[in-house]
Amino acid sequence: MTENADQLDILSFGEALVDFLPDRRGKLRHVDSFHKAVGGAPANVALGLARLGRRVGFLSNVGADEFGAYLREALEREGVDVTGVHDVSGVKTGVTFVSLDHDGDRSFLFFREPSADLSVTPDDVDEALVARSRIVHLGSNLMTEPDPRAATLRLLDLAEEHGCLVSTDPNIRLHLWKDHAETRRQVDALLRRCDLIKLNDDELAFVGEGKSAREVWEDIIRPNGALALVVTHGADGAEVFCGDVHARVDAPEVEVVDTTGAGDGFVSGMLTAICEAVGEAELRESIASWDEAQWERVLGLGCACGAKVCEQLGATPGLPRRGEV
């Protein structure tokens, strides 16, 4: 990887959407007004990392429209490097309307087909941006269509070529896939290319088909050469498997308003803690040497950031700054 003054700690790649958050709980038909926020898991992670003080870039396509301009400006205002965000004509920026019922359960109404983030191609993947990055982070939702899937594979090839550590939160959304067998094939292919894999309970069940977290690590993830598997358990905290090390932490107790984006907050905190712990040392060697106590610190910051997100409505309004966690 090229060392230079413009080096990024993390480059996040994937979908960027505009979330419209309601001014009250209830069905969308009963909501009179909304406010907009950055949405899309990889965009949320980029914003969260910037708030935590990391040098972060974002790679995606947005529409050449007002919502695309909003996303670009909102990310740039937080300190995200948006040189990899491309304005695309002929497709619109994706939009999501969020509702929250009186029991706290979420519903989403997507306007995303086709949307600008799904227009990304291998030509949109800037090698110079990858070369500047120590860590590349991505999900699986751009692997649903051929062109963005090819772009994802191009990014993984460049990350390997330039020695980047590859992190993934696949953020599996089965409703975005036409064929769930294809979902499994593509997610499995992604996980084989990644060093640091974060799954929630539902994703663990999908990947492991009934296996425990330890069994998924020992039987699936570790044999493929991954460095670590992190599993988040919502209010029950998170655990990690790295080599023969296993660590687990509890999540802070908070008054939960909305769990949307808690996983993105966790990833932001986890990657920040990794960067802080490693410093300028080689990432893989450092992480591979960590003991349980070091991993507890990493998971602890992840859980703290995820908990902060849950205290507000929406995925990004509650993303904390470093002094808050």
pLDDT on residue 2: 44
**95 alpha-carbon distance from chain centroid:** 18
What is the pLDDT, as a whole number, of residue 104? 60
DSSP 250: P
CATH architecture of 8-14+41-62+119-319: 3-Layer(aba) Sandwich (3.40)
CA-closest candidate to residue 155, choices 172, 183, 135, 182? 135
Average pLDDT over every residue of 218-222: 98
pLDDT digits (tens, 9 = 90+) for 154-204: 999 999 999 999 999 999 998 889 999 999 999 999 999 999 999 999 999
The pTM for the full model equals: 0.95
Q: What is the mean pLDDT of the chain?
A: 95
Q: Report the candidate in 207, 57, 39, 217 with the shortest Cα–Cα distance to residue 126.
A: 57
The helix (run of H) or strand (run of E) holding residue 1 is none
CA angle 218-221-222, nearest 5°?
55
pLDDT at 100: 84
Contacts of 309 (CB under 8 A, 6+ apart): 259, 260, 261, 262, 264, 265, 315, 316, 318, 319
pLDDT, mean of residues 241-269: 96
The residue with tokens 């209010």 is 235
